[in-house]
Copies of this chain bind each other. A is one copy, B any other.
Amino acid sequence: MATRDQQQSVAVDEVNWLDEEEMVVWRAMVDVNASIQAAVEEDLTSHGLTAGDYGVLARLSDAPDRRLRMCDLASALHLSPSGLTRRVDGLVKQGLVSREPSENDRRVMLAVLSDEGNVRLRNAAPGHVGTVRRQFIDHLSRTQLRNLANALTAVQCGTLAE
């Protein structure tokens, strides 16, 4: 995705191309994520959910009173407002989520996890976690896991600080 002729010269062209190790890591990062995402998606479809649906249900399940403001949900899921509106539309149509206007602020709508939504989530969760394990976690030793955590949080803090 980013190979170019190594230009090791002094400063004529001041681009820092990726060296071999960096390149390997970058490509691996992209590929690993692609394959994990695909596996997760496939697993969830067997429970009649998309990965996006699962994300909504999981967030709602962890929220107090199983309800969240649309805007909070959208930012938690890195989704645009319109994207979330339509995703929730679909979940409402399936009876997994219901909408409820907030009493404090009449601009906001709350998405509420229904009992049926909770059941679907609990049915899908074990398979989902299993997929994450088989595709990712179980291939790492405890040490690798800790190193990976350090590396990733370093990246997170770095990009967050910007």
Residues of A within 8 A of B (CB): 1-4, 15-18, 21-22, 24-26, 28-29, 31-36, 38-39, 54-55, 58, 62, 78, 122, 125-126, 128-130, 132-140, 142, 144-159, 162
A1: which of B1, B18, B58, B145 is its contact (CB, 8 Å)? Answer: B58
Contact A149 B15 (CB under 8 A): no
A159: which of B3, B39, B145 is its contact (CB, 8 Å)? Answer: B39
A sample of 6 more A-B contacts (CB under 8 A), given A24-B149, A29-B36, is A15-B129, A18-B133, A28-B152, A139-B158, A140-B154, A144-B147
Main secondary structure of the interface of A (DSSP, over half): helix
